[in-house]
Amino acid sequence: MSVISINNLKKSFGKTNALKGISFEINKGEIFGFIGPNGAGKSTTIRCLLGLIKADEGTCMIEGLDGWQESVLAHEKIAYVPGDVNLWPNLTGGQIIDVLLSFKNKKHTKKTDELIKLFDFDASKKARSYSKGNRQKVALIAALSSDADIYIFDEPTSGLDPLMEQVFQDYVLKLKDEGKTILLSSHILSEVEKLCDQIAIIKEGNIIEIGSLKDMQHLTRTNFEIISDIKIDGLENIKGLHNIKQEDNNLKVQVDTNNIDAFMKHINQYHINYLTSSAPTLEDLFLRYYEKEGA
């Protein structure tokens, strides 16, 4: 059953067509990665879903509730962390967390205290003195301790240091274990790669690819670096090799993921002294995609 379903969503701001027909579904218990470069339309999609802005066309539903018309009901099920968190400067972080919780009819619980500790957050300072990362922590702590069914994160770690990013990622996995549904927008590819079951790639207001990381591997290449006793010949007979760099016994090559088998069989005929392979990343996938488009 899909918890979030977005169907042919279109939105323009004046002359900018921010969304040109976005569709995707998120199933219960899934971590859904929403990835794309800056200005691709991630935040706009999320704002439509939250009923902050009205779609020109198409629908977005949260558990069967219309994001625009029934937004208040829908919001009872969700917790949202915006990308750029701004706070009320004359309240302390702790006060804002509790205000946000209470407006969700939730209370400051033990879990809230745990999260404050986990994120190493000083809740007693006025919000005006917080850095971007600390402001983000306020929104994260309020969202994570609110015990929602659905979590929507818009680039939640863009201000966090690597240690806190890790804390956040661990927590997201914990939420998944509890059966929560998560929409995670990001332009940090490694994060999405690590956490997400399903991934949608958005570019200039269009979804250009959707599926699991595995499904997308036809788009990806694996990088090999090989040192053999003698020079490896006959590479030109194998399909799907790219950027071959060969110096005597030393070979660097990118192999289309579909063609790895043929490639491995070929090099098996040689005595290999050294081999590393790096798994495809979403960066590669992106590059590859743009290459394909350009061609």
Residues that bind another protein (CB under 8 A): 13, 47, 50-54, 71-73, 75-76, 78, 80, 82, 84-88, 90-92, 94-100, 102-105, 108, 123-126, 128-129, 139, 152
Instruction: Outline where 145-281 has alpha helix (H).
Output: 162-177, 189-195, 260-267
Per the CB < 8 A criterion, the answer to whether 82 and 42 are in contact is no
Instruction: Outline where 3-131 has alpha helix (H).
Output: 42-49, 71-75, 93-103, 110-118
Contacts to ligand ADP from residues 218-247, by CB under 6 A:
none
Q: Which is nearer to another protein, 70 or 225 (CB)?
A: 70
43 binds Mg ion (CB under 5 A): yes
Q: Which is nearer to another protein, 5 or 146 (CB)?
A: 146
136 binds ligand ADP (CB under 6 A): no
Partner touching 39 among Mg ion, ligand ADP, another protein, none, CB below 5 to 8 Å by kind: ligand ADP
Distance in Å from the first CA to the final CA of the chain: 38
Closest CA to 36 of 286, 243, 290: 286
Handedness of CA 216, 218, 220, 222 (dihedral sign): positive
Q: Read off the amino acid at residue 246.
A: Q
Per the CB < 8 A criterion, the answer to whether 22 and 32 are in contact is no
Closest approach, Cβ 276 to Mg ion, in A, equals: 36
41 binds Mg ion (CB under 5 A): no
Stretch that binds ligand ADP, among 32-40, 130-138, 214-222, 263-271 (CB under 6 A): 32-40
Partner touching 69 among ligand ADP, Mg ion, another protein, none, CB below 5 to 8 Å by kind: none
Closest CA to 17 of 35, 38, 40: 40
18 binds ligand ADP (CB under 6 A): yes
Residues that bind ligand ADP (CB under 6 A): 13, 16, 18, 36, 38-44
